[in-house]
Amino acid sequence: MLIKLKNKDTLIFDEFKFKCSIGKNGLKKNKIEGDKSTPKGIFSLGKLYYRSDRVPKPETNLTTKNITKNIGWCDIPNNKYYNQEVTSLRNVNKENFFRKDSKYNYLIVINYNKNKIKNKGSAIFIHLTQDYKPTNGCIAMNENDFLILVKLINKKTHIKLN
């Protein structure tokens, strides 16, 4: 099954339509790190992370992982851990999953730049929003829609962004 981005503010899966927001600078085929654009293409999905101190474990067929204070995602192109989960690496700047706001109470990794090509972009997720403001490149949706979507999808689901 395929999650499709219909336009800059609608995700479609099967018969369901979900309001969303994407990167501030729209969709880009040749994404680069920090350009605030959402990458074009078809991508598989990775783990679903959640904050068990704030929200229940979601009902899903995706692999799940609880977010703890030391979990994040390396977004430094010259680091050997670029574009992957990191834990308690003091000398690594990372996108911290344990945030004060609620954006990462739930998030799904979009498997973009799996080959870890430097400066091609990293940390592309489906995460939460309350206001649908443009993101730094991720897909954002409200919590209720997110929880509906994760019940419907599985490990074989892909997302098409174009």
Dump pLDDT digits (tens) for 128-153.
999 999 999 999 999 999 999 999 99
Please report which confidence band the pLDDT of residue 125 belongs to, taking 50, 70 and 90 as the band edges. Answer: very high
Given the DSSP bridges, would you call strands 41-50 and 64-66 parallel, antiparallel or unpaired? parallel
Structural domains of the chain, ranges and CATH numbers in brackets: 2-161 (2.40.440.10)
What pLDDT does residue 91 have? 58
Dump pLDDT digits (tens) for 23-67.
999 999 999 999 999 999 999 999 999 999 999 999 999 999 999
Q: Is the pLDDT of residue 78 over 70?
A: yes
What pLDDT does residue 95 have? 86
Q: Is the pLDDT of residue 93 over 70?
A: no
As a whole number of angstroms, the distance between CA 111 and CA 133 comes to 23
